Amino acid sequence: MMKDSDFEAKVSELNELASEELRLIVRGEKPYLTRERWRPVFYAAEAPKAGVTLGPGPLKTGFDRNIRYLNEWFEAKRRYAELSEPIGWEEHLPASSEGRMLGAAAHSLRWGEREDMRAIVDAIVGVVKARQRADGYCMPFDEQDMEASEEPFPD
């Protein structure tokens, strides 16, 4: 196991390498793939979209645990919202929290309709839709907080 000091040193090294690479690109000293030339890499296999049933076993156990977690988190979020107190990632990264929750609940619906997961998806989509402006901006923080930074991992 890596010691905390070793981990912090490695993170600092990676941050510096990323910063240097960005500086080289900005100065035109390192080539990069332009938007026009970029092509997606296609998956070698795709997950089925229907016809899959989870039977007893580790995958079903994990799936059921995830469903319980999602329901518990959503209920905790609802209770804290009544108190106007952010929880966990909500305080600093509210859209990240919404995105993770929405993705997990929506993905679970691929394997079968569930009233609890549908309610979570509908609630999060409703929150985002309610704050969306006419120009499409829907993040839970001001636009000026979205300005680009040359620092890859600002504090």
For the chain, the domains span 4-39, 58-131
Type of residue at 150: E
If you ran DSSP here, which 8-state letter would residue 110 be given?
Answer: G
- pTM reported for the whole predicted model: 0.60
Structure confidence by residue, pLDDT tens digits, 78-129: 776 766 666 666 666 777 888 888 999 999 998 889 999 999 999 999 989 9
Tokens of 88: 């966990």
Encode 44-80 in three state secondary structure: CCCCCCCCCCCCCCHHHHHHHHHHHHHHHHHHHHHHH
Helix (H) or strand (E) holding 25, with range, is: helix 4-26
Structure confidence by residue, pLDDT tens digits, 22-36: 899 889 998 888 889
